[in-house]
């Protein structure tokens, strides 16, 4: 059985302000994945990697998601969710800010707690962030993690809305289980270079939402200093 007592104690420490939940309303639909032609960067970008390492890339980080977490639109694909979430209200999903919380990692980090709907009516939680232009050499970086003692089994992924409001989900999914070490995701965004998009953090349950207290640790955009925009 999944351990809910430790989670309840952990959520009690969240700095989220209590606010009334937003009234249920239709959310942006998530259509089937739509592929796009991939531009050729110069030089070629590395493939995605997974490892455990310190988050020591501040000098080349151009955007941190966590400070804008509550500027994002959070939904469960059926209802809009408040941010920060209301403590103890997990049925429809929950967003929490874990500011400078150790999370049992060997360093302090800002993080976003994303809990899919716990009543089984919805399958995931989606956070569409403010629009920004993506450049060649931009990488999406984050640690994938679970709250300590949470026996979660989820799939993290990254999508985006283009300038017309159309949703795309072209990037790899990253399954994660509580028994694994934290994953460091380092994935190139050149597929959407020179586009202005609303990047969307997504967590889906894997059939059983109980205990799915998923954490995005320091989600950010890193701009590789050795990659330049190709010339025509």
Indicate the domain borders of the chain. 55-223
The CA distance from 197 to 191, in Å, is: 12
Q: Report pLDDT for 148.
A: 84
User: Which CATH architecture does the domain made up of 55-223 adopt?
Assistant: Sandwich (2.60)
Contacting residues for 177 by C-beta, under 8 A, at least 6 apart: 152, 153
Q: Report pLDDT for 25.
A: 39
Q: Report pLDDT for 138.
A: 95
Q: For the chain, which ranges sit under pLDDT 50?
A: 1-54
User: What does each C-alpha distance from 186 to 37, 58, 178, 219 come to in angstroms?
Assistant: 21, 14, 20, 10
Cβ neighbours of 80 (radius 10 Å)? 18
pLDDT digits (tens, 9 = 90+) for 111-120: 999 999 998 8
The CA distance from 10 to 8, in Å, is: 5
The CA distance from 178 to 210, in Å, is: 12
Q: Report pLDDT for 73.
A: 97
What six digits make up the tokens of 124?
């995931």
Rounded to 5 degrees, φ, ψ at 7 are -70, -40
Number of H helices, E strands in the chain: 1, 14
pTM above 0.85, yes or no: no
What six digits make up the tokens of 149?
């003692």
Q: Report pLDDT for 104.
A: 74
């Amino acid at each position: 059985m999944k351990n809910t007592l430790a989670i309840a104690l952990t959520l009690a420490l969240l700095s989220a302000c209590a606010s009334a939940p937003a009234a249920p309303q239709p959310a942006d639909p998530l259509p089937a994945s739509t592929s796009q032609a991939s531009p050729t960067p110069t030089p070629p970008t590395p493939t995605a990697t997974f490892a455990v390492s310190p988050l020591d890339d501040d000098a080349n980080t151009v955007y941190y998601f966590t400070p804008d977490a509550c500027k994002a639109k959070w939904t469960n694909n059926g209802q809009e969710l408040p941010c920060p979430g209301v403590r103890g209200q997990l049925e429809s999903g929950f967003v929490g800010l874990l500011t400078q919380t150790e999370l049992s990692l060997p360093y302090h980090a800002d993080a976003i707690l994303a809990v899919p709907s716990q009543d089984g009516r919805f399958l995931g939680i989606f956070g569409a962030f403010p629009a920004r232009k993506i450049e060649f050499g931009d990488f999406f970086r984050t640690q994938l993690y679970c709250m300590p003692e949470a026996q979660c089994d989820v799939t993290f992924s990254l999508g985006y809305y283009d300038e017309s409001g159309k949703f795309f989900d072209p990037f790899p999914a990253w399954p994660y289980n509580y028994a694994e070490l934290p994953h460091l995701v380092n994935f190139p965004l050149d597929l959407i270079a020179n586009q202005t998009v609303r990047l969307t953090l997504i967590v889906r349950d894997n059939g059983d939402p109980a205990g799915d207290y998923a954490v995005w640790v320091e989600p950010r955009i890193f701009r590789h200093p050795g990659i330049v925009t190709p010339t025509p």
